[in-house]
Every structure is written in structure tokens, then in C-alpha cells.
Amino acid sequence: MVGPEAGNPAAAPMESAVKLGVRDLQISYGRETILDDVSFDIHEHEIFGIIGPANAGKTSFLKAVNRMDMFNPEMTVGGSITFNNVAVDKIRNVYGLRRRIGVVFPLPVGLPLSIYDNVALAPRLGGQKNRAELDIIVERCLTRAALWDEVKDRLNSLGSMLSGGQQQRLTIARALSQDPELLMLDEFSIAVDPVTTMRIEDVLKELRSEVTIILVTNLVQQARRLADRTAFFLEGGCVEVGLTEDLFTGEVKDQRTRDYVEGRFG
Amino acid sequence: MERQSTGAVAGVDSSFDQLNRDWYIDKAVQILVFLGGISAIVFIIGIFIFISKEGFGFLVGDFNFREFFFSPNWRPTSESRETFGILALIAGTASVTGLAMLIAIPFSLGAAIFIAEFASGKTREFLKVTVELLAAIPSVVWGFIGLAIMNPVIIQTFDVPVGLNVLNAGVILGLMAAPIMTSIAEDALKAVPDRYREAAEAMGATRWQVIYKVVLPAAKNGLLGAVLLGVGRGFGETMAVLMATGHSINIPTSVFDSVRALTATIAAELGETAAGSSHYQALFTIGIFLFVITFIINLAADLIVRGIRKG
């Protein structure tokens, strides 16, 4: 799946469509620039890892993708991001954009609705009213998020009453519920135990055939396990983008990347 | 990669960027909400313009700043020389409100802390319902309690000739303001996340220490907002104050002196003035003054509550 782009990892290979194109991206909060001069393409059906220490701009990048900069008047986004080759900052209907992009935030947010309603929320927003269809979606998404077995007997209890790890899986199920074309996970495993993390990782590998995934992670090894290509963000810039294996086998262009993945700093 | 596109142009998929029904509904709601918000501002400005217009003639004519604010003589119907000094009225309103707050703040904060931190289950539900019920008592009923019950009680207990005075009105107003203050203060305490309490309790803090060191500081702005709301209530209250103060112009030297409040003066006299007369316009000038004071109190409360969101 990743072979052809080995020559120039930052460029789009001809046979793989660009899902998300990032050009000269600059993100600032007020006068402080937190991400500058970032350019890369994310291809359809790949898992794209983003690693880097705290405050490297990883989360801000995700916010810029689905136009959550709208919520923060301080945040300005320069350069361009394209989704399906459409510039996201030119989009008139941002809700339509967000319905194609699923996001999972680091801290789980179980909405104060029943477990069922949490997962059925997005399909219902999209106009799905058929109970049988919703049942299927809810079961499929909860199964994929490795939560179905634990909650199938109490789908009507409150989602906000689940434990932290369960809420995180509920959040993932919710993000999957509108069949996103792009799934962005921001340190999803932060509140999840290792066994469950592994189960979700297996699901992500399966999802790759249907969805493009951006995986922001603190765990370097998680990026290695999952990501086809990985970008390394450091101090407000993207140090390098490459095949994940290359980053770990020493085929790196930048010494800082080597130091980071080998755990010498960060 | 079976679902791949066949060329660069085919990769453009802007189908999600349709201005569909949901989008139009969203826009329509945004406009409606905007009009709703704007209308509130329009109404307030309209009221202010109306009051100002009615009081304007007085402000440019007979109005004498020194006399208005520093003379205790409110003699709007004097045959020989009319004087419009509201100092005594300000003193009346301020003394009654001040006493009311002295009574209401400890009561309402105590009640709020008890309901939010100590009471549980049925006690708590019962107390909340009761407090809300108290807040719904009409002010004329409170005024009646002041006249019919407090008045003789004060005369007998303190052996004073008149029981309609600062003490009476202050107690009545305090009791009136306490329920709503309790309600707001309790909301502020409840808004403090439980994890703050758990973090403090985990360090061995006693229940009182948790409240005093963690919960109250965290809820500080909301509590201050509750107090300011009470002050605003005290300034604006009319009927109960009219009935319980004795309604006589006086700069009080003790709590047993009868006083007269700004609001009560407007309520009692406006109906008997000729529209457009100096007296009528002076009453509207009092209205402007009250409007400005309430505006300042509300603005302060708003700035403080905004502090909550930032903190």
C-alpha cells in the first residue's frame, strides 16, 4: 500500500489520490506562531502518523483541518489545506466538511445521552430515522471500537457515566458513526488500557481499507505499529515526513528525528 | 486501493460543500437569534430614551446638581418654593439595602453552602423547592408582612413609637433577597467540579477545609455575582419598601428612623403629578439615576461573572 512513495515521501505518488493536501501551513494564536511552513500530502487509505512532543502544534493542525479555528478568534490559519482537493478555508458549509471528517479528542467526551444515542447522534443529524438502520450502525460502530460486548446490555444508560476508557471507546464509536472519509485520532490511547488499545489498533488497521486515518500520538511505538508514513513535528515545524519504517531504521534526514524516535529527548 | 480516483481532476470532490437544508435552517436560526438579541438592546435603549426624554426638561431647567444630590429636602409640592433634593431618598434606599444585605448575605451563603455541600437526598430537594417557593412570594405580600406583623413586633420589642422604619424594611428586604441569592450562590457552588473536592479530600482536608480553601475560592465570582444581584434587587424593590419604611423623608440616624426610598417616591407620587410639570420631570430624573445605578451594578455583576468563565 505504501511502496510507490518511497522515493519522495512528501510528494503524492501518481496512483494514489491525495485526501488531504497541506501547503505552507502556518497556524498562530495571537502573535505567537505555533506551526509554520508545513507542507505534505496525506493519501487516501493510508494511516498517517504525527509524532512529536507536547506543544509541537499537532492538535492545532487537526483543528485547522476541520475548521475548528472558527471557535477560537485568536487562532489564525495561513497557507492552505485541501480536503478532496477542495480548499477547506473556502468552504461555505463547514458542517458538511465536518460530517466527512471524524475526530477523536484526547480526553473522552461521553455526551450526557444514552450510549445508544451517543452513537446514533451523527446519523440522526444526517437525517437517518430508521430504527433498524440505526441499530445496525450502533452495533457496528461499538463493535469496531471494542466496546460492544461491555455495553450491549445497557445501551440505554448514560454515556457520560461510563469509565474513562469506555468513554474514549464510545467517542471513537461516535466518530465512526457517520462513515467519515477521514478519521483524525488525537492521542486516543491516553485514557485506554493497553489491551484495549491493542484491540482498537487492530480495528484501525482494518479500517484503513475504507478510511484515511490521521493518527496523532505520543507513543512513538504506536506510530510504528500503525502508520504507513509518519510526520515528526517539533517546535512549531514539521521536521520531516517519511515512511514510518524509515524513521525507525535510521533512514532519517534529520538527526533530531532519530533522537526523538530513539527516546533521547522529547 | 480499489476505490482510487483515476486522475487529478477526479480527486476534486466538493459534494460535501452543498448549501443544503440543514445549512439554510442553521442560517435562519442564526438570524432569528441575532434579532432576538438585538431586540433586547433596542428595548433597553428605548426605555432609556423614554425616561431621559421625560426627565429632560427638568435636567435643563430647574435641575440644580448640588440641590438634587446634596439637599435632603424633597418638597416637590411646596407652595412657596419647590425643592428637589434626593439626598434623604438616597440615604433611605442605601440604608435599607445595606441592612438587607447584612441580613441576606450570611443567610443566603449559609443556606447555599448547606444545600450544595452538606444536605443530600430528600433534605436537599425539600430545601431547594422551599427556597424557590420563597423567591416567588409577591413583594406586596412581603410589604403586608412588614405592615401587619413586623410593625407591632418592633414596637413591642424595642419600645419605639413607630415600627415602620429602616429595621423593618431591611429585614423584609433581606428576607426577600435571600432566596434568589441562595439559588444563584448554590448554582455557583454546584458548578465547582467534584474533582476539585476529591483532590482536596484525598490530601486529608476536612470538610470545612475543603469548602473554605477550595470550593469557596473556586466559586468566588459566582458568589459575588449573587450578592450584587441581591444589591440590585434591594435598590429596585418598590412595593415592600413603600409599605415597610414608613415613607417619611429622613436621613436616618438609627435603624428605628422611618425613611423613604427612591423607588417608593416614584411609585407614590407619579400618579398625582401633572404630566410635564417640574415634579413629574424630577421623578423621571430619579428614574434616570436609578437606571444608571442599576446599570452599574449589573455591569459589575456581568464583568465578575465573565471572570468566572475565564478562570
Structural domain includes residue B109? yes
- pLDDT tens digits along A60-90: 999 999 898 888 888 999 999 999 999 998 8
Structural domain includes residue B73? no
Asked if B45 and B141 sit in the same domain, the reply is no
Asked if B30 and B158 sit in the same domain, the reply is no
Asked if B122 and B226 sit in the same domain, the reply is yes
Question: In B, which residues are within 8 Å of A97 by CB distance?
Answer: 16-17
Asked if B42 and B97 sit in the same domain, the reply is no
Beta strands in chain A (DSSP E): 18-29, 32-43, 47-51, 75-83, 86-87, 101-104, 182-186, 212-216, 229-234, 237-243
Question: In A, which residues are within 8 Å of B14 by CB distance?
Answer: 84, 86
CB–CB of B23 and A97 under 8 A?
Answer: no
pLDDT on residue B15? 82
pLDDT on residue A8? 47
Taking CA–CA distances from B16, the nearest residue in chain A reads A96
Structural domain includes residue B288? no
Taking CA–CA distances from B9, the nearest residue in chain A reads A85
Asked if B57 and B92 sit in the same domain, the reply is no
Asked if B137 and B246 sit in the same domain, the reply is yes
Taking CA–CA distances from B19, the nearest residue in chain A reads A93
pLDDT on residue A168? 86
pLDDT on residue B307? 67
Taken in order of first residue, the domains within chain A and their CATH numbers are 16-261 (3.40.50.300)
B43 touches chain A (CB under 8 A): no
Asked if B147 and B52 sit in the same domain, the reply is no
pLDDT on residue B310? 55
User: For residue B154, what is the domain's CATH number?
Assistant: 1.10.3720.10
- pLDDT tens digits along B200-210: 988 889 999 99
Kindly report whether the global pTM for this prediction surpasses the value 0.80.
Answer: no
Structural domain includes residue B16? no
Question: In A, which residues are within 8 Å of B13 by CB distance?
Answer: 84-86
pLDDT on residue A251? 77
Structural domain includes residue B82? no
Q: Considering its fold, how many domains does chain B have in total?
A: 2
The Cα–Cα gap between B2 and A264 comes to: 41
- Residues of A with a Cβ under 8 Å from any B Cβ are 1, 15-18, 44-45, 84-86, 91-93, 95-97, 99-100, 125
Asked if B39 and B125 sit in the same domain, the reply is no
Asked if B128 and B262 sit in the same domain, the reply is yes
Structural domain includes residue B6? no
Asked if B178 and B265 sit in the same domain, the reply is yes
Asked if B56 and B110 sit in the same domain, the reply is no
CB–CB of A44 and B4 under 8 A?
Answer: yes
Structural domain includes residue B80? no
Residue that terminates a domain, selected from B61, B79, B113:
B61
Structural domain includes residue B96? yes
Taking CA–CA distances from B14, the nearest residue in chain A reads A86
Asked if B43 and B138 sit in the same domain, the reply is no
CB–CB of B23 and A44 under 8 A?
Answer: no
Range of the domain at B119: 88-273+294-310
B14 touches chain A (CB under 8 A): yes
ipTM of the complex: 0.70
Question: In B, which residues are within 8 Å of A17 by CB distance?
Answer: 4-5, 10-11
**Å from A23 to nearest chain B CA?**
16
The size of the A-B interface in CB pairs under 8 A is 53
Average pLDDT over residues A8-33: 77
